[in-house]
Amino acid sequence: MPHSTPELGTRTPLRAEAESRLKQGTAPATAYSSVSADALKLLYQLASDPERARQGLKLLHELQVHQVELDLQREQLDANEREIFESLTRYRTFFDCAPVGYFIVTLDGQVIECNIAGATLLGIDQQDLDGHLLSSFLTPGSAPELAGLLKKLRGGATSGHCSAQISRLQRDGSGVTPHPLHIAAGITPRGETVLMVVSAPAAATGV
109 located within any domain: yes
Please identify, among 95, 123, 155, the residue that sits at the C-terminal boundary of a domain: 95
Give the pLDDT of residue 175. Answer: 46
Within this chain, do residues 186 and 113 fall inside the same structural domain, yes or no? yes
Predicted confidence at residue 194, as pLDDT, reads 97
Tell me what pLDDT residue 81 has. Answer: 87
The DSSP bridge partners found for residue 103 are 114, 196
Could you list the residue range(s) of the whole structural domain that residue 136 is in? 98-205
pLDDT below 50 — which residues of the chain?
1-6, 8, 169-175, 203-207
Count other Cβ atoms within 10 Å, centred on residue 78.
11
In the chain the beta strands, taken as DSSP E runs, fall at: 101-105, 111-114, 159-169, 176-187, 194-199
